[in-house]
Structure 1
Amino acid sequence: MTRIPHETSGEPNPLLALSLDQLKRRTSMKWRTYPEDVLPLWVAEMDVPLAEPVVRAVTDALRRGDTGYPAGTAYAEALAAFAAKRWGWDGLAVERTAVVPDVMLGVVEMLKLVTGHGDPVVVNPPVYPPFYRFVAHLDRQVVEAPLGADGRIDLGVLEETFQRVAGGGRRAAYLLCSPHNPTGTVHTAEELSAVAALAERYGVRVVADEIHAPLVLGGAEFVPYLSVPGAECGLSLMSASKAWNLAGLKAALALAGPGAAADFGRLPEEVGHGPSHIGVIAHTAALLDGTAWLDALLTGLDENRRLLTGLLAEQLPAVRHRPGEATYLAWLDCRALGLGDDPAETFLHRGRVALTSGIPFGTGGAGHARLNLATSPELIREGVRRMAAALEED
């Protein structure tokens, strides 16, 4: 089936719509964690207005008092239609989906289905910090299989890790980040097929966090993990929250491959009570009617990536940056600046710009910082200016 990863929408770039004064009136984590003089380029919230179809769907629901409990399969059907058009994947079976509160809570529920207390869960650092926190809170053991120097999955390291943690028939899981946060790496079909083959060989259950899937740039192709050969026993979590800035409207979908359908039969009924009905409505509208807005956003993010690359070359040439193929996050290697393990601390206290520290991302995170590109070019320019100013001699 023909995939349509990125179209020219004709819609205005949503990253240009809001002024700094407008953004400062927001009350969410990004804009309330630090003092007002700090420019926040850290947590994964976008500085955009919502897509109009989402606003309309939520407003209509509120007007009719449709604020009860979620029901039905409209969200899953919308995601299946989006996956077919966007990724050429017709294998998303609505009957093998479940609505969960959000992706990380869905990850927890999937890991409960396939592992027990103390069992190992493999991750690929540097990786999204909640992978460590949620797995530890679940009383599972985090085991690292670091990415290679090229920022991609090191299949040799992954095999050695699988062999070690799953030896003797021990239960183990692999928490795959796809696309990868913070590097923006988009795993290829060949890589994912190799992962599936290793998982099958060693009896490791794969749980894929695919929340950034809609945020893949032109020239790269997102491949759903459940679409590759050998992934029939895999589990996946998807959501519209990252791509349409809907983190405050809680809803996500858990997906099961055909070999994992029986696992869903053990999913507690009360898990489905956690998602917001309004959230489900918002996510469904985004997937069905918000693709033109998404394409305008992707075009804007492309422009911001090029802008950041140029600004770093001019003002912070010692910072190494490999532009990602997905997400709106930039992973900055600041080790050559001599700022120690946590350069984000220097940028915050001396430059008054907030980035995300690389340390919580695990092995390979020290000396790095993550910058959120989902803002206006004006604020990216100001952010880099402040970062450079933080390095100037007192």
Structure 2
Amino acid sequence: MTRIPYETSGEPNPLQALTLDRLRRRTSMKWRTHPADVLPLWVAEMDVPLAEPVVRAVTEAMELGDTGYPVGTAYAEALAAFARKRWDWDGLAVERTAIVPDVMLGVVEMLRLVTGHGDPVVVNPPVYPPFYDFVRHLGREVAEAPLDAGGRIGLDVLESTFRRVTAGGRRAAYLLCSPHNPTGTVHTADELTAVAALAERYGVRVVADEIHAPLVVGDTRFVPYLSVPGGERGLSLMSASKAWNLAGLKAALAVAGPDAAGDLARMPEEVGHGPSHVGILAHTAALRDGTPWLDALLAGLDANRGLLAGLLAERLPAVRYRPGEATYLAWLDCRSLGLGDDPAEVFLEHGRVALNAGPPFGTGGAGHARLNLAASPEVIGEAVRRMAVAVERAGHRP
């Protein structure tokens, strides 16, 4: 497969469209969790206006009073067309999809299909904290197989973990984050093929969270897990939520590989009642007609990665940052600053800038913080300035 890189769309950079004053009028979690003097660069909400096709779809629904229950396969059809164009993947079969309320609730339902109470679910820390919360709430056991020093899946570690958790014939699942949050790593076809081979060898069922799939940089290739040899028994969760900033318009798709269709068919019908009909309309419009907006966003995010790297080198050279290949999140290694396990706490207290704390991401998270890059260059610059001030005020060397 050859991924089609984003192109210059002619649309303006959506990250430069809104002023900070206008953003502070928002009432969502990002803007209401902290006091007004805090600059929020934490939770995965972007500082962008919505893509015009999304606005049009939602506005037309409001004008028609089209706020009932979801039905049909338009969302899946739009995602399948997007996958063919962007990832050169034609294996997303509409008949092997189901709508779910959102990706994490979809993950729960997929794990419910392939594991039982108390069964282990393998994750690769540092990883998205809700992986721990949702898995444990489901009554499953979290088993860690940490990423290697380069931030990639360590196949030897993964195999030893698979061997351990399946000992005695236990059932197990592997919750794969692809692309990886928080590192922005995009797993290669070879890596995913090796994962699939290990999963088959040990009888581990793979559930892939691929919510960040559209947010891949330039020529880097996103590889759907279900597209690799051996991925036929896999289950995937996909959504337009992250790429088009639609978290408040709930909708996602569960996608089954050919050999997992029977599992997906066992999902209770009532799960499909959870997504928002308006959300599905919005997500469908984004995937079908919102790619020029997405391309402009990707170009802006790419510029922000370079900007952040330069600012950190200038103001906080002790912070180690390897720009990711995907997502709009930056994983910052702040251990050399001597700020303890939770540098985000110091940045908030002394610099009034909110980042995500590293420890909740599991093993490898201590001494780190996650920064949301989906903001204007001016906001990124102010955030780094505040972080440097915080380090000085805390009595440590930048």
TM norm structure 2: 0.98
1:50 alignment partner in structure 2: 50
**Where do 1:60-139 residues align within 5 Å?**
60-139=60-139
Distance 1:251 1:87 in 2: 21
TM-aligned CA deviation for residue 24 of structure 1: 0.3
1:20 alignment partner in structure 2: 20
Distance 2:346 2:256 in 1: 44
Q: Is the 8 A contact 1:83 1:92 kept in 2?
A: yes
Distance 1:216 1:297 in 2: 11
1:161 alignment partner in structure 2: 161
TM-aligned CA deviation for residue 147 of structure 1: 0.1
Deviation beyond 6 Å, 4+ runs, structure 1: none
Return the letter of the residue paired with 1:141. E
Distance 1:4 1:262 in 2: 32
Distance 1:251 1:5 in 2: 26
2:352 alignment partner in structure 1: 352
Distance 1:286 1:344 in 2: 33
Secondary structure (helix, strand or coil) at the match of 2:233 reads coil
Distance 2:57 2:299 in 1: 25
1:10 alignment partner in structure 2: 10
TM-aligned CA deviation for residue 3 of structure 1: 3.8
TM-aligned CA deviation for residue 264 of structure 1: 1.4
Return the letter of the residue paired with 1:119. D
Question: Is 1:340 equivalent to 2:355 in the alignment?
Answer: no
2:267 alignment partner in structure 1: 267
1:143 alignment partner in structure 2: 143
Distance 2:18 2:2 in 1: 35
Q: Is the 8 A contact 2:319 2:333 kept in 1?
A: yes
Question: Is 1:379 equivalent to 2:379 in the alignment?
Answer: yes
1:41 alignment partner in structure 2: 41
Q: Is the 8 A contact 1:333 1:369 kept in 2?
A: yes
Return the letter of the residue paired with 1:127. V
Return the letter of the residue paired with 2:372. N
Secondary structure (helix, strand or coil) at the match of 2:281 reads helix
Q: Is the 8 A contact 2:121 2:141 kept in 1?
A: yes
Deviates more, 1:60-69 or 1:237-246: 60-69
Q: Is the 8 A contact 2:212 2:243 kept in 1?
A: yes
Q: Is the 8 A contact 2:4 2:219 kept in 1?
A: no
Return the letter of the residue paired with 1:162. F
Return the letter of the residue paired with 2:334. C
Secondary structure (helix, strand or coil) at the match of 1:391 reads helix
Q: Is the 8 A contact 2:123 2:142 kept in 1?
A: yes
Deviates more, 1:288-297 or 1:163-172: 163-172
Secondary structure (helix, strand or coil) at the match of 1:241 reads coil
Secondary structure (helix, strand or coil) at the match of 1:220 reads coil
Structure 1 residue runs without a partner (length 5+) = none
Distance 2:149 2:3 in 1: 31
Return the letter of the residue paired with 2:143. V
Distance 1:5 1:270 in 2: 38
Secondary structure (helix, strand or coil) at the match of 2:313 reads helix
Secondary structure (helix, strand or coil) at the match of 1:245 reads coil
Question: Is 1:285 equivalent to 2:251 in the alignment?
Answer: no
Return the letter of the residue paired with 1:263. D
Q: Is the 8 A contact 1:5 1:218 kept in 2?
A: yes
Distance 1:180 1:392 in 2: 32
Return the letter of the residue paired with 1:373. L
1:96-129 per-position Cα deviation (integer Å, ceiling 9, x unaligned) = 0000000000000000000000000000000000
Structure 2 residue runs without a partner (length 5+) = none
**Where do 1:301-340 residues align within 5 Å?**
301-340=301-340
Deviates more, 1:167-176 or 1:336-345: 167-176
TM-aligned CA deviation for residue 170 of structure 1: 1.2
1:183 alignment partner in structure 2: 183
Distance 1:362 1:270 in 2: 33
Q: Is the 8 A contact 1:3 1:84 kept in 2?
A: no
Aligned length: 394
TM-aligned CA deviation for residue 2 of structure 1: 5.7
Structure 2 vs 1, CA of residues 3 and 219 (structure 1 numbering), >3 Å: closer, same or farther?
closer
TM-aligned CA deviation for residue 169 of structure 1: 2.1
TM-aligned CA deviation for residue 57 of structure 1: 0.5
Distance 1:89 1:5 in 2: 14
Distance 2:288 2:297 in 1: 16
TM-aligned CA deviation for residue 389 of structure 1: 0.3
**Where do 1:234-249 residues align within 5 Å?**
234-249=234-249
Distance 1:302 1:266 in 2: 41
Secondary structure (helix, strand or coil) at the match of 2:231 reads coil
TM-aligned CA deviation for residue 265 of structure 1: 1.8
TM-aligned CA deviation for residue 199 of structure 1: 0.2
Return the letter of the residue paired with 1:77. E
TM-aligned CA deviation for residue 8 of structure 1: 1.4
Q: Is the 8 A contact 1:210 1:238 kept in 2?
A: yes
Return the letter of the residue paired with 1:387. M
Return the letter of the residue paired with 1:10. G
Distance 2:51 2:328 in 1: 17
Q: Is the 8 A contact 1:5 1:87 kept in 2?
A: no
Secondary structure (helix, strand or coil) at the match of 1:68 reads coil
TM-aligned CA deviation for residue 6 of structure 1: 1.2
1:119-142 per-position Cα deviation (integer Å, ceiling 9, x unaligned) = 000000000000000000000000
